[in-house]
């Protein structure tokens, strides 16, 4: 396992991962990169997220 992967995991607070876990972490994040490449980055500023915060109506 490369130090780069270990360091990346540690930076995320994942300092108890074994070498086997780190291999899984690397495969998982590499696979996620494939999905991230498809994310559109040019959406108009006014396009809101699918779920937004709602104020809670007072109960009394």
Partner 1 sequence: MSGDLAYLGLAEAAALIRDKKLSPVEYTTALLARIDRHDPELNAFIALTPERALTAAREAEAEITAGRWRGPFHGMPYALKDIIDVEGIATTAHSRVLADNGARSHAAVTDRLEAAGGVLLGKLSTHEFAIGGPSFDLPWPPARNPWNRDHFCGGSSSGSGAGLAAGFFPAALGTDTGGSIRNPASMCGITGMKPTYGRVSRRGVVPLAFSLDHVGPMTRTVRDNALMLQVIAGHDPADPASADEPVPDYGAMLGQDVKGLRIGLIRHFYTQDVAADPEQVDALDAAVRLFAEAGAETTEITLPPLQDFSACGQIILAAEAYAVHEQWLKERPQDYGARARERLLAGAGLRAVDYLQAVRWRLQLRDQVAAAFSNIDVAITASSMDPACRVDDDAALAANYWRQARMPFNVTGQPGLVIPAGLSKDGLPLALQLVGRPFAEPMLYRVAQFYEEATGWTKHHPAGIAD
By the 8 A CB rule, do 19 and 1 touch? yes
Q: CB of 6: closest distance to partner 1 in angstroms?
A: 13
CA atoms of 9 and 27, how far apart (whole Å): 13
Q: Does 48 bind partner 1 (CB under 8 A)?
A: yes
Cβ partners under 8 Å of residue 23, min gap 6: 1
Q: CB of 51: closest distance to partner 1 in angstroms?
A: 6
By the 8 A CB rule, do 29 and 4 touch? no
List the interface residues with partner 1, window 19-38 (CB under 8 A).
Answer: 20-21, 24-25, 27-29, 31-32, 34-36, 38
Q: CB of 28: closest distance to partner 1 in angstroms?
A: 4
Q: Does 10 bind partner 1 (CB under 8 A)?
A: no
């Amino acid at each position: 396992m490369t130090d780069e992967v270990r360091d990346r995991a540690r930076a995320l607070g994942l300092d108890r991962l074994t070498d086997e876990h780190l291999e899984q972490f690397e495969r998982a994040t590499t696979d996620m990169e494939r999905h991230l490449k498809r994310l559109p980055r040019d959406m108009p500023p006014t396009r809101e997220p699918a779920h937004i915060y709602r104020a809670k109506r007072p109960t009394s």
